[in-house]
C-alpha cells in the first residue's frame, strides 16, 4: 500500500472518529503514529503563503515564481489527511447517526474497547517515565471528566422540543413547512455560535481524548452542523453552504491558534504532555461507557424529514452511566472485545514493523 492511500485512509479514520460524540480523532492520530508529525507541520504553517504553496503542489508543472515556504511532502500529507477526513464526514455522517440511534450500546462498546487499549500508545512514547508524570495524568483525566459533565441530552432535547412546539402550534406552521427557505435559514446568532464552536471543536480534535463532536454537543451546535451536512447532501442550499463555510473558518482559526500551543508544550515538556494526553484518553472512557440510563419523555416535538412532528413516549439515552444489564450485555461484550482486539493487533503490527 503506497503512502497516498495510507494517508487518505488515516484521514478517513480520523474524520469518522470526529463525527461520534466522545470519540477523539486526536487519539487515532496517536494510534496511527501521525500525531507529532501533524502538530509539527501545522505549527510551522504561514497562512498567507499557504495558498501559493498548495497551488504549486497540486499543479506540479506550473512554473514557480519563488520557492515553497513549506516542504512539498508536508503539504501533500495535509491534503491527503484532510481529503480523507472530509470524505468520511460526508459519507458517514448519516450512517453513524443511525448507528448511534439504533445500536448505541454496541457502537459505544466497540469504541470503548478501542480507546481503552489505545491509552497504551502515549505511555509507550514516554522518554523517561517517572512518578512526577502522575500529576499531568490526573489533570488530563479530570479535565476530560469535567468536560463530559456538560453533556446533558435531556435538557438539550427538551429545550429544542420547546422551540419546535411553539412553531408546531403557530398559525402559519403549514406555510412555513412548505417553504424550504424558511425551514433552513439561520440567524446571525447561529452563525456566530457556529464559528466559535468550530474553533473550540478544532482545539478538541487535535487533543487525544477530547472529542470535537462532544464540544459541539456541549455548545448545542452538534445537531445544527450534522443536520446541515445531511441536508446539503440531499439538496444543496445557500444557507447550508454558508453555515458550513463559517464552521470551517472557525475550525481554521482554532487550528492556527491552538496547534502552536500544543507544539510548544510537546517540544518543551514532551513526557508531561504525553502523560496529560493519556489522562485525557482515560477520562474520555466515562463518556464512552456503553451502558447509559434511558428516560421516557411523555411528549417531545422533533423535526423529521423537514416537518415538525409530535412524539409521545419518546425514549432518550441520557449521559448517566449504569451497570451492564439486559439483552445487550453479550453483544456489547462482543463489540468491546472486537474493538480491543483490533487495537491490540494494530499496536502489534506497528511495533513489529519498526
Domain boundaries, the chain: 3-353
Quote the mean pLDDT of the chain: 79
> Considering the entire predicted model, what is its pTM?
0.70
DSSP reduced 3-state for 318: strand
pLDDT < 70: residue spans in the chain? 1, 21-22, 46-71, 150-151, 171-186, 209-210, 214, 217-218, 220, 223, 234-235, 303-306, 353-354
C-alpha cell at 17: 472518529
Sign of CA dihedral 144, 147, 149, 151: negative
Give me the pLDDT at residue 109, please.
93
C-beta of residue 250 within 8 angstroms of C-beta of residue 197: yes
* pLDDT for res 59: 52
The pLDDT of residue 139 is 93
Q: Report d(CA 348, CA 264) in Å as an integer.
A: 30
CA dihedral 18, 22, 28, 29 (to 10 degrees): 70
Structure confidence at residue 222 (pLDDT):
74
E strand or H helix at 115? helix 104-118
From the list 213, 199, 214, the residue with the least C-alpha distance to 258 is 199
**Is the C-alpha dihedral spanning 324, 330, 331, 333 positive or negative?**
positive
| pLDDT at position 302 | 80
**Alpha helical stretches, state H, 269-328:** 270-283, 285-288
Coil, strand or helix at 196: helix
Query: What is the spatial distance between Cα 291 and Cα 198, in angstroms, rounded to a whole number?
Result: 29
* pLDDT of res. 316: 87
Q: What distance in Å separates the CA atoms of residue 336 and residue 36, rounded to the nearest whole number?
A: 28
Amino acid at each position: 500500500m503506497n503512502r497516498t492511500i495510507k494517508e487518505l485512509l488515516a484521514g478517513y479514520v480520523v474524520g469518522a472518529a470526529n463525527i461520534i460524540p466522545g470519540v477523539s480523532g486526536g487519539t487515532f492520530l496517536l494510534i496511527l503514529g501521525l500525531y507529532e508529525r501533524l502538530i509539527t507541520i501545522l505549527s510551522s504553517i504561514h497562512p498567507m503563503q499557504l495558498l501559493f504553496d498548495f497551488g504549486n503542489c497540486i499543479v506540479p508543472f506550473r512554473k514557480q515564481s519563488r520557492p515553497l515556504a513549506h516542504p512539498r511532502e508536508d503539504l501533500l500529507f495535509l491534503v491527503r489527511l484532510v481529503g480523507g477526513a472530509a470524505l468520511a464526514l460526508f459519507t458517514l455522517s448519516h450512517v453513524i447517526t443511525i448507528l448511534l440511534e439504533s445500536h448505541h450500546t454496541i457502537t459505544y462498546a466497540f469504541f470503548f474497547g478501542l480507546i481503552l487499549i489505545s491509552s497504551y500508545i502515549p505511555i509507550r512514547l514516554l522518554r523517561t517515565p517517572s512518578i512526577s508524570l502522575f500529576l499531568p495524568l490526573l489533570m488530563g483525566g479530570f479535565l476530560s471528566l469535567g468536560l463530559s459533565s456538560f453533556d446533558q441530552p435531556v435538557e438539550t432535547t427538551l429545550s429544542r422540543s420547546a422551540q419546535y412546539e411553539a412553531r408546531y402550534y403557530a398559525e402559519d406552521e403549514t406555510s412555513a413547512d412548505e417553504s424550504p427557505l424558511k425551514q433552513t435559514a439561520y440567524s446571525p446568532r447561529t452563525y456566530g455560535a457556529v464559528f466559535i464552536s468550530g474553533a473550540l471543536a478544532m482545539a478538541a480534535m487535535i487533543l487525544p481524548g477530547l472529542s470535537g463532536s462532544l464540544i459541539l454537543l456541549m455548545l448545542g451546535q452538534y445537531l445544527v452542523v450534522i443536520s446541515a451536512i445531511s441536508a446539503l447532501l440531499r439538496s444543496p442550499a445557500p444557507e447550508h453552504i454558508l453555515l458550513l463555510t463559517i464552521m470551517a473558518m472557525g475550525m481554521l482559526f482554532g487550528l492556527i491558534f491552538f496547534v502552536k500551543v500544543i507544539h510548544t508544550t510537546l517540544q518543551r515538556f514532551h513526557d508531561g504532555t504525553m502523560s496529560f494526553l493519556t489522562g485525557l484518553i482515560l477520562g474520555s472512557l466515562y463518556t464512552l461507557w456503553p451502558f447509559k440510563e434511558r428516560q421516557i419523555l411523555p411528549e417531545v416535538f422533533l423535526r423529521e424529514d423537514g416537518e415538525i412532528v409530535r412524539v409521545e413516549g419518546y425514549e432518550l439515552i441520557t449521559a448517566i452511566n449504569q451497570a451492564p444489564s439486559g439483552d445487550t450485555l453479550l453483544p456489547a461484550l462482543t463489540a468491546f472485545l472486537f474493538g480491543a482486539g483490533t487495537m491490540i493487533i494494530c499496536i502489534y503490527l506497528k511495533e513489529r514493523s519498526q
